[in-house]
Structure 1
């Protein structure tokens, strides 16, 4: 018999979770790329860089495993919001934790009035891109033109269309 899937829940950011935010994201970025200066600034100062300017950080917790994923919504303009720093620990792959987290983050972004809600990524992140597409993100040249230069590794830009 297969093990039952652990129950997933969403947890709001508080300072006690800042290290999880850093570690989860540093783990996946360093596995595929190099941490850029903009990554370090956000990961080392999530309250100052994301929360205080009006953004949000949500975590996904798996029963018996603790915090296994994180994702941020970073305000980049009056209504523009970047979905950023989304990562799930290697140990939690296959639990649908990323999809569960992404759905919660999209819901939060809509509640914040995000327009546009967008993300920047790299084509090496094929599984993530597939998930983004599945939940309503579309490739967008305008987003690339407006925001893509923020990261050297960015070669994919997507806008949420629901």
Structure 2
């Protein structure tokens, strides 16, 4: 089914999709935090112009169904963040498709540190992260975990 999925690069025209997809899962499971609002309302300034990237997955016949970002947080450090797939797209392997491409893109961008912050409530996402090679990392939690109140899981990817 992944042959029906395409990777799409960020454009300003897709900023609303980035906001919509992420607001959907954040508001369904948590409370929108100031950090969330800042990133979702200013994706070009906070992610793209700051040295990161935003990727989307498009499903043939359904349009944009998922997104994720690589936010530059240091010289060669990137946070995998704001990864979400619409409820209607669950089961299409869109999250796995995005994650594979995000990991590859981080490597292309010269990442020496790739990490993510999440909540234990995101069980399906954590399982996917583990499946593709992310490992739980107390060092990541100590260094970056205070970014979000909801964060109680930190993972790193061995590059």
Tell me if TM exceeds 0.5: yes
SS in structure 1 opposite 2:16?
A: helix
Report the CA distance between 1:5 and its aligned residue: 7.1
Of the candidates 43, 48, 53, which is equivalent to residue 51 of structure 1? 48
Of the candidates 4, 10, 17, which is equivalent to residue 20 of structure 1? 17
Q: Which consecutive residues of structure 2, in runs of 5 or more, have no partner in the other structure?
A: none
The 5-angstrom pairing of residues 80-119 of structure 1 reads: 80-119=77-116
Q: Which consecutive residues of structure 1, in runs of 5 or more, have no partner in the other structure?
A: none
Residue 71 of structure 2 is matched in structure 1 by 74
Evaluate the alpha carbon distance shift between residue 84 and residue 5 of structure 1 in structure 2; reply closer, same or farther with a 3 A threshold: closer
The answer as to whether partners of 2:2 and 2:97 remain within 8 angstroms in 1 is no
Residue 156 of structure 2 is matched in structure 1 by 159
Evaluate the alpha carbon distance shift between residue 154 and residue 62 of structure 1 in structure 2; reply closer, same or farther with a 3 A threshold: same
Structure 1 range deviating more: 49-58 or 4-13: 4-13
Q: Quick one: distance in 1 between partners of 2:59 and 2:7?
A: 9
- With structure 1 as the length reference, what TM-score do the two structures score? 0.96
Query: Would you say 1:62 and 2:59 are equivalent positions?
Result: yes
What is the RMSD of the two structures over their aligned residues, measured on CA atoms? 1.1
Q: Quick one: distance in 1 between partners of 2:2 and 2:110?
A: 33
Report the CA distance between 1:115 and its aligned residue: 1.8
Regions of 4+ moved over 3 Å: none
Report the CA distance between 1:6 and its aligned residue: 7.0
Residue 30 of structure 2 is matched in structure 1 by 33
Paired residues in the alignment total: 159
Q: Quick one: distance in 2 between partners of 1:145 and 1:6?
A: 39
Report the CA distance between 1:113 and its aligned residue: 1.3
